Amino acid sequence: MIGEGRLTREFVAYGRVDDCPVIDTHAHYGPYQAIHFPRHRPERVMDTLDRCGVRWMLTSGHVALVDPRRGNAEIAELVAQYPDRLRGWWVINPNYPERTEEELDAFEAQSGFVGFKFHPNGHGTPLTDDRYGPVLEYANAHALPVLSHTWKGAGMASYREVAIVADKYPEVRLLMGHAGYGDWVESSKVARDHEHVYLELTAAYSVRGALEIMIEHAGSRKITFGTDHPWFDPHYGIGCILSAYMTDQDRRNILYRNAQALFGLPLEGAGAEGEAT
Ligand SMILES: [Zn+2]
């Protein structure tokens, strides 16, 4: 089912809609050893953003997911090069807890990053592990965003672990990357029941019916758009939002309004609240 509102008609006709900018809250950067990304270079990234109407992209480096010291520095350089299009996620690798203090100092000294990126599954460390504690305490004290990979499965980074962390650190703006993939109803209820927990849509957008479940149980105000770019093209994810059962107001909440409020990103010309669609 393709939506029939103005947003769908204009995205299909022009590839972008000027008064409906997109904020991609979950992207990556750089080449990756095991797969060819034809559009990973900065100029190509900018071209993709322009074609798809993506106004802001929040990104973490593939290198940073393995070696944060080198990879976060790479992203700091990149976002300094494109300060009006990109912001970074500061990756924390909990396998090196002796570096955490140094990482927090380095985070504090910069201005191009919005918060911290965790990947419990990739780093083999449950979200509830003590080694994330100092970072979560810092994020809680400063009401900062944390984007964590989340996925179905007990004991690592499912809605269960998110609920525990959200109860313990209620000021952290916790984005559930992939929306707790697979546990759609339970994850949506965790977002509903915790003021600062959000469902981030990377990969989740393409599962039939999942978006409608999230809107029913959590509401479109608790959902942010993301793509894992350059793994996936933003147009794919945008098409899924346009094709799901929801109103154009819901689509605007998901595509930019929620992220704009969460991250304080300037957006010129975005559609006004409550406009006719
Ligand atoms: Zn990712």
Using the mean position of ligand 1's atoms as its centre, give its distance from the Cα of residue 28 in Å.
Answer: 6
CATH of domain 6-13+25-263: 3.20.20.140
pLDDT of residue 277: 42
Task: Check pLDDT > 50 for residue 276.
Answer: no
* pLDDT tens digits, one per residue of 256-265: 999 999 999 9
Q: Give me the helices (H) in 117-272, please.
A: 133-141, 159-168, 184-193, 210-217, 234-243, 248-252, 258-263
pLDDT of residue 117: 98
Task: Check pLDDT > 80 for residue 147.
Answer: yes
* pLDDT tens digits, one per residue of 209-236: 999 999 999 999 999 999 999 999 999 9
pLDDT of residue 3: 67
Q: Are 57 and 45 in contact (CB under 8 A)?
A: yes
Using the mean position of ligand 1's atoms as its centre, give its distance from the Cα of residue 277 in Å.
Answer: 32
Using the mean position of ligand 1's atoms as its centre, give its distance from the Cα of residue 62 in Å.
Answer: 9
* Strand-by-strand arrangement of the 113-118 sheet: 22-29, 54-61, 86-91, 113-118, 145-151, 173-181, 197-200, 223-224
* pLDDT tens digits, one per residue of 173-205: 999 999 999 999 999 999 999 999 999 999 999
Using the mean position of ligand 1's atoms as its centre, give its distance from the Cα of residue 6 in Å.
Answer: 30
Residue 250 — pLDDT band, cuts 50, 70, 90? very high
**10 Å Cβ neighbour count for 195?**
11
Using the mean position of ligand 1's atoms as its centre, give its distance from the Cα of residue 256 in Å.
Answer: 19
Residue 230 in tokens: 């350059």
Query: What value does the mean pLDDT take over residues 144-163?
Result: 96
Q: Is the peptide bond before 170 cis (omega within 30 degrees of 0)?
A: no
Task: Check pLDDT > 60 for residue 266.
Answer: yes
Task: Check pLDDT > 90 for residue 158.
Answer: yes
Using the mean position of ligand 1's atoms as its centre, give its distance from the Cα of residue 5 in Å.
Answer: 30
Residue 100: partners with Cβ closer than 8 Å, 6 or more residues away: 92, 131, 134, 135
pLDDT of residue 99: 94
pLDDT of residue 211: 98
pLDDT of residue 2: 62
Q: Identify which has the larger pLDDT, 154 or 215.
A: 215
Using the mean position of ligand 1's atoms as its centre, give its distance from the Cα of residue 176 in Å.
Answer: 11
Residue 270 — pLDDT band, cuts 50, 70, 90? confident
**10 Å Cβ neighbour count for 132?**
25
Query: What value does the mean pLDDT take over residues 111-128?
Result: 97
How many Cα atoms are found within 13 Å in the side-chain-facing hemisphere of 110? 25
Long-range contacts of the stretch 69-72 (C-beta < 8 A, 24+): 69/99, 69/103, 72/103, 72/106, 72/113
Using the mean position of ligand 1's atoms as its centre, give its distance from the Cα of residue 102 in Å.
Answer: 24
pLDDT of residue 121: 96
Query: What value does the mean pLDDT take over residues 139-167?
Result: 97
**10 Å Cβ neighbour count for 31?**
12
Strands (E), 48-196: 54-61, 86-91, 113-118, 145-151, 173-181
Task: Check pLDDT > 60 for residue 273.
Answer: no
CA pair distance 77, 61, nearest whole angstrom: 11
pLDDT of residue 154: 82
pLDDT of residue 275: 52
Find, among 11, 91, 88, 3, the residue nearest to 54 by Cα.
11
Residue 145 — pLDDT band, cuts 50, 70, 90? very high
CA pair distance 182, 250, nearest whole angstrom: 22
